[in-house]
Amino acid sequence: MDIDPRRLRVLLAIARTGGVLAAADELGISPSAVSQQLSKLEDETGHTLVVRTPKGSVLTPAGLAVAEAGEEIERALSVARARIEGGPRWLVWCAWADSPALSGRW
């Protein structure tokens, strides 16, 4: 099962907002685009992830499992971004200076 991680944001937005229209508004895309991405994600997983009801959209057990994984991925990416943006940049230079490929040139 290959899942396009970009589609996870659509599922997470539906989970947060409770519906396709609100998710589309949150993501700044059309409701049709949200529905299309959700449909592709469901095809990729082989499961129905969201059930539409008169009161909004509800995640199925499979949808909850995929959404939980999506949240973990987003948290991991957030940590990586913070490390990249806030970490000491000199570590990169030290790694290069200690590189066997460069050691004879310094």
What's the CATH fold of domain 5-103?
A: Arc Repressor Mutant, subunit A (1.10.10)
- Its pTM stands at 0.75
Domain ranges of the chain: 5-103
Inter-residue contact 85 to 77 (CB < 8 Å): no
pLDDT tens per residue across all 106 residues of the chain:
788 888 999 999 999 999 999 999 999 999 999 999 999 999 999 999 999 999 999 999 999 999 999 999 999 999 999 888 876 655 554 554 555 554 554 4
Q: Residue 7: how many CB atoms within 10 A of its CB?
A: 21
Q: Is 23 exposed, middle or buried (0-12, 13-18, 19+ CB in 10 A)?
A: buried
Position 40 scores a pLDDT of 97
Please spell the DSSP secondary structure of 27-73, one letter per residue.
Answer: HTS-HHHHHHHHHHHHHHHTS--EEEETTEEEE-HHHHHHHHHHHHH
Q: CA dihedral defined by 24, 25, 28, 30, rounded to 10 degrees?
A: 40
